[in-house]
């Protein structure tokens, strides 16, 4: 994609201190966008911002816990002050504090996963959508998961939230289309991130999952970048309410 495609665009990427969010934020910055990144830990977030900033420009780190309503509100106040507008929001932040059968999942763990992955994503998207609707333009891209379609063993609560993200994206797409705002989602397969560590480090589970992937490997965060940039770009001007699966072919 042309390096000038996103020149001057104001972009928010949540959960960007590592993994998919970091890779996506770095790509937008290289493509000329002004990028704000969020994460829970200010120190690691600031370090990421410095590491991925292109020469002569800066990526803006804004600490925000997606599970805290007040922090989301503060985030958008800061974006209003720093950027003045928002053209693209990539809602990626997620958590999974539990691994095991869903029937054994404690309510506290369930509540945390729902709070961050679904409620927090909803509040972030809602704040972004209001600003984009007012300016009559914008693109929101959610990071869902193929777990939305085929729940991953041991990741029941996480899978439920990712299915919710698909429904949220489609609902917002229908509501916002008349206001010039597009909403889509990317559903990655097995990607080497912190959240997938339990699956990748368990050889039996990893080998079983990879055996079902025609490309014969698990993915890297960079494998997801192109799909996100496409959906956020003018190349996807006639695309809304869609989910683009990036999984090495496992869901053909």
Q: Give me the active site residues, please.
A: 158
Could you give the angle at the alpha carbon of 212 between the alpha carbons of 184 and 251, nearest 5°? 30
d(CA 9, CA 214): 36
d(CA 232, CA 234): 7
Rg (CA), the chain: 17
**What are the start-end ranges of the H helices in the chain?**
19-30, 42-52, 69-82, 107-113, 121-135, 156-176, 197-201, 203-211, 222-232
Contacts for 98-106 with beta carbons within 8 Å, 24 or more apart?
98/157, 99/154, 99/155, 99/198, 100/154, 101/154, 101/156, 102/156, 102/157, 105/156, 105/157
d(CA 228, CA 31): 13
CB atoms within 10 A of CB 217: 11
């Amino acid at each position: 994609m042309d390096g000038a495609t996103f020149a001057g665009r104001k972009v928010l990427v949540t959960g960007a201190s590592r993994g998919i969010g970091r890779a996506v934020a770095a790509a937008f910055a290289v493509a000329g966008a002004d990028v704000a990144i969020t994460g829970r830990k200010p120190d690691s977030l600031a370090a990421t911002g410095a590491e991925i900033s292109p020469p002569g420009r800066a990526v803006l780190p804004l600490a925000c816990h997606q599970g805290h309503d007040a922090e989301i509100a503060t985030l958008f106040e800061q974006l209003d002050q720093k950027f003045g507008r928002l053209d693209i929001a990539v809602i990626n932040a997620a958590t999974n504090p539990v691994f095991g059968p869903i029937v054994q999942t404690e309510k506290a763990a369930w509540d945390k996963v729902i709070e961050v992955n679904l409620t927090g994503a909803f509040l972030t998207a809602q704040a972004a959508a209001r600003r984009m609707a007012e300016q009559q333009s914008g693109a929101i891209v959610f990071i869902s998961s193929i777990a939305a379609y085929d729940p991953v063993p041991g990741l029941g609560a996480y899978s439920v939230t990712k299915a919710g993200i698909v429904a949220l994206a489609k609902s917002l797409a229908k509501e916002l289309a008349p206001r010039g705002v597009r909403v889509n989602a990317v559903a990655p397969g097995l990607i080497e991130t912190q959240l997938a560590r339990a699956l990748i480090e368990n050889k039996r589970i990893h080998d079983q999952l990879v055996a079902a992937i025609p490309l014969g490997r698990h993915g890297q965060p960079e494998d997801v970048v192109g799909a996100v940039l496409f959906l956020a770009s003018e190349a996807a001007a006639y695309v809304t309410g869609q989910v683009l699966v990036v999984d090495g072919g496992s869901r053909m």
